[in-house]
Amino acid sequence: MSRLPVLFAATVLTGWSVSAIAATIIPSPPVLDNKSYVLMDYDSGQILASSNPDLQLPPASLTKMMTSFIVEQNLLSGRLKETDPVLMNESAWCRGSSSESCMYVPLNSSASVLDMLRGIVIQSGNDASKAMAEHIAGNEGAFAEVMNDEAKRIGMKNTHYMNATGLPMDGHYSSAMDSAILARNIITSSAKYYPIYSEKWFTYNNIKQGNRNALLFTDPSVDGLKTGHTDEAGYCQVTSSKRGSMRLISAVFGTKSMNERAGQTRALLSYGFTNFETTALRPAAQSLATTPIWLGKTDTLNVGLTDAMKVTLPRGQSAQVQTSLSILPNLTAPIQKGQVVGKVIATLSGKTLAERPLVALEPIEEAGFFSRMMDHIKMFFSKLFK
């Protein structure tokens, strides 16, 4: 599988937490009867509430989020086409057992990649997941290696996959934190296919099945992502909800029933939207400053951010946040567009909230020989008399 660009890690906080700054301003998170949970702000990546976030637990069908993510990335890279036929081998075929969820593609027939993707996301089909694993990697074991490579690449530190479905298996585990990280990557880098996660129904082989995510039917702000259940894992759910300009991601592991996982998800989302707000501190792709450049065809460089700098804080505190730029000294050409030349730092009451790379907004070519010689002389005297 071709390597993909590095996307999001869990969070960019540096020495800051919600509780450290605002313990007396906001109420405590809800007390939930589960094994682990995380509530993450999508834009900033900040963790607003958590309990045992890195605990390694069986993820059940939340596993299929990685399966679908890899399918989506293969589609976006052109390695797969939506209309490509995918064969349903006997090794992937679902025999109609009531103990597992299935898309019900007939044995030795084919379904398109796009239909298989819907079968994975909406119907939670074990058969579709296995068939796509075999189609991409040759067999499910080899596909699990691809899954683990992707998990490592995007910063999932407490995840190890053994299969494409989430059926119980020794050595197959994930965490609430890692599931939120994966969800954040899906929403961003698989944006073309993300609307599938909000589709309520999918019919294949004349069998109509509803999405297992009950909140899609009751909460219009919810637009994904996945549920899971086995006796070992309990009832699990990863959810994305957008209200206004703010999007939250929740992950709950090990609840006792379908109603419990839905209710606990509602409680987490309500807590986040009620008590926090996300603020854009600095825009993307706009000059935040100009800095001198030595040895270049021009002597100044515009610097800025690749992505907007956002932080999530208790409501009412965003006006107190301050930002500052730290630019590397004595920058010399050539400079590539996007090259890191410093950082933007956000602080509140003297505490660092977040840092983002400050990058060159345009390339600077190296100057001719005589211009460079003059700059070398100027640089020498500027250091001598500093």
The pLDDT of residue 96 is 66
Structure tokens at 370: 């005589």
**Residue 270 among the catalytic residues:** no
User: DSSP label at 107?
Assistant: T
Whole-Å CA distances, 194 to 70, 90, 149, 377: 13, 30, 22, 56
From first to last of its 386 residues, the chain has per-residue pLDDT tens of: 333 333 333 333 333 444 445 444 678 999 999 999 999 999 989 999 999 999 999 999 999 999 999 999 999 999 999 999 999 999 999 986 667 899 999 999 999 999 999 999 999 999 999 999 999 999 999 999 999 999 999 999 999 999 999 999 999 999 999 999 999 999 999 999 999 999 999 999 999 999 999 999 999 999 999 999 999 999 999 999 999 999 999 999 999 999 999 999 999 999 999 999 998 999 999 999 999 998 999 999 999 999 999 988 898 888 889 999 999 998 999 999 999 999 999 998 888 988 999 999 999 999 887 777 776 777 666 666 66
Tens of pLDDT, residues 61-109: 999 999 999 999 999 999 999 999 999 999 999 986 667 899 999 999 9
**Residue 245 among the catalytic residues:** no
Report residue 329: phi and psi, to 5°.
Answer: -80, 155
The pLDDT of residue 5 is 31
Which amino acid belongs to residue 282? Answer: R
The pLDDT of residue 95 is 81
The pLDDT of residue 23 is 43
Q: Is 8 helix (H, G, I), strand (E, B) or coil?
A: coil
Give me the catalytic one of 124, 129, 174, 240.
124
What domains sit in the chain, N to C, each tagged with a CATH number?
Answer: 18-276 (3.40.710.10), 283-384 (2.60.410.10)
Give me the catalytic one of 61, 190, 241, 250.
61
Please state, in angstroms and rounded to a whole number, the distance separating the CA atoms of residues 127 and 365: 54
Structure tokens at 337: 């567009």
The pLDDT of residue 104 is 95
Q: Which residue has the tokens 């345009």?
A: 362
Please state, in angstroms and rounded to a whole number, the distance separating the CA atoms of residues 273 and 271: 6
The pLDDT of residue 383 is 66
The pLDDT of residue 375 is 64
Give me the catalytic one of 35, 44, 50, 64.
64
**Residue 61 among the catalytic residues:** yes
